[in-house]
Amino acid sequence: MELITNTLGLGTFFSGFFAIAAQGNDEIRNFLHLEEKKEIVICMVI
């Protein structure tokens, strides 16, 4: 996906902050419909 964004002339970066914030925030997990067993490990921001 990162290669596609570069091809389209867009920039990307990986945000570890979002992964940490989502771990302890039920509001974010509920918004994303994330199951209890699932975990966000990284977030690619476009």
The DSSP element (H or E) to which 32 belongs, if any, is none
The DSSP element (H or E) to which 5 belongs, if any, is helix 2-7
Task: Show the domain range for 39.
Answer: 2-45
Average pLDDT on 25-45 reads 91
pLDDT of residue 14: 92
Q: Which residue has the tokens 């699932």?
A: 38
Contact (CB, 8 A) for 5 and 46: yes
Tally the domains of the chain: 1
Average pLDDT on 11-34 reads 90
- 36 pLDDT higher than 90: no
Quote the CA–CA distance of 30 and 19 in Å, as a whole number: 14
Q: What is the percent of the chain where pLDDT is above 90?
A: 48
